[in-house]
Amino acid sequence: MTEAILPGATIGILGGGQLGRMLALVARRRGYRIHCLAPEAGSPTGQVADEEFLAPYDDLEAVRQFAKQVDVVTLEFENIPSAALEAVEELVPVRPGRHVLHVAQHRAREKTFLRDHGFPLADFAVAHSLEEVREALGRIGLPAVLKTAAFGYDGKGQSLLQAEQDAADAWQKLAPDPVVLEKWIDFAREVSVVVARNPQGDMADHGMIINDHANHILDTSRSPSEDDAPLARAARELARDLMCQLDGVGVLCVEFFVTRDGDLLVNEMAPRPHNSGHLTIEACVTNQFEQQLRAVTGLALGATELVRPAAMANLLGDLWRAGEPDWEAVFDLPEVRLHLYGKREARPGRKMGHLTATASTPEAALQRVVAARDALVHRIYDSPADGGHAG
């Protein structure tokens, strides 16, 4: 039986982003200490950690020193070198383990794993040359998407191919070897499921979440999805099955395409909390970050019942283009909550924070959270002279 890691222990987080920050805030409220390791000082996680270790992830001696001072290590993003995880695993448990990261951090391995284990996904091929890309196009057809195998997120590292002549430009642009060519899916919508699993094999999930994207970046999410109970049940079962097949411990988000025919196709997986699950902070008895804490420390998982329908809207750096947003526009709204990530520089497309709203239905919550975000923009760009909107 796995021995639980109890309050008073120290949790190590590899990575310094907002996901680590939100995990640290939950963990510290429950009596745990937090150490984080990241290359830059003052990271979102480092701002709220007890100790901040500054080192590149490939500095294995620094990684070992970090691991010696904690009781368990978890991750807040996937792109950690395998050698670093191997060094940590020699000293303390890593959850999820190196085997999960090996699959999830590389599209070619991820797609191959899904196919080999019988999960539904779009037709794909792994290519190591332009000639192989062209050969795969002959089988998969157009349109298709060419993606880098590693370091791709929020639409980065991919190109849409609508004609055969697009292949050469896309190959030159993406460059790294290998790449993944994937059939273009004309999907009806995108959904996700966040599932947790502890070392004892217990699992819990937060149901199916409905997502909308803009410019390849998640824009809004809402829950619950009771309008399509059979689809939600199927998505939850697939996410749980995938977590078991990976033998994962921690939190896993599985993103799906829903086709025009109502079928589910696995698009991506992330072995950590996910942007689409942020609404669970206000919406659920146990949010995704407390669930991650419980899972990696070997505790019983928390209840995931929805307290109230909720929706989330991302706040990107574009909102700062005319200066600091007027946050009073959010605090005027009693059922809207603001989460800022402590990032110093606002850049277009960069996730700086999010808003969550609750309401009697998910649709009403979505309208409320989008209106709250629009109010920030309107206050920034309304002209006192004419009251017009110049945004």
Dihedrals phi, psi of 224, to nearest 5 degrees: -85, 180
- Helix, strand, coil percent values for the chain (each to nearest 5): 35, 30, 40
Domain ranges in the chain?
10-94, 123-183, 187-381
**pLDDT average, residue stretch 359-371:** 97
Contact 239, 252 (CB under 8 A): yes
Q: Which pLDDT score, from 0 to 100, does residue 228 have?
A: 80
Contacts of 141 (CB under 8 A, 6+ apart): 183
Q: Which pLDDT score, from 0 to 100, does residue 383 have?
A: 43
Pairing, β 51-54 against β 33-38: parallel
Pick the CATH number of 123-183 from 3.30.365.10, 3.30.70.360, 3.40.1350.10, 3.30.1490.20: 3.30.1490.20
Pick the CATH number of 10-94 from 3.40.718.10, 1.10.760.10, 3.40.50.20, 3.40.50.11720: 3.40.50.20
50 three-class SS: coil
| Residue that wins the pLDDT comparison between 380 and 378 | 378
CA–CA gap between residue 322 and residue 383 (Å, rounded): 13
CA–CA gap between residue 311 and residue 356 (Å, rounded): 6
293 three-class SS: helix
> Does the structure show a pLDDT above 60 at 132?
yes
Share of the chain above pLDDT 90, in %: 86
CA–CA gap between residue 342 and residue 352 (Å, rounded): 8
187-381 in CATH: which number? 3.30.470.20
Max Cα separation, the chain?
69
pLDDT band at 332 (very low <50, low <70, confident <90, very high): very high
Question: What is the distance, to the nearest Å, from the Cα of residue 379 to the centroid of all Cα atoms in its chain?
Answer: 30
* pLDDT tens-digit series, residues 27-78: 999 999 999 999 999 999 999 999 999 999 999 999 999 999 999 999 999 9
- Same fold across 10-94 and 187-381: no
* pLDDT tens-digit series, residues 261-308: 999 999 999 999 999 999 999 999 999 999 999 999 999 999 999 999
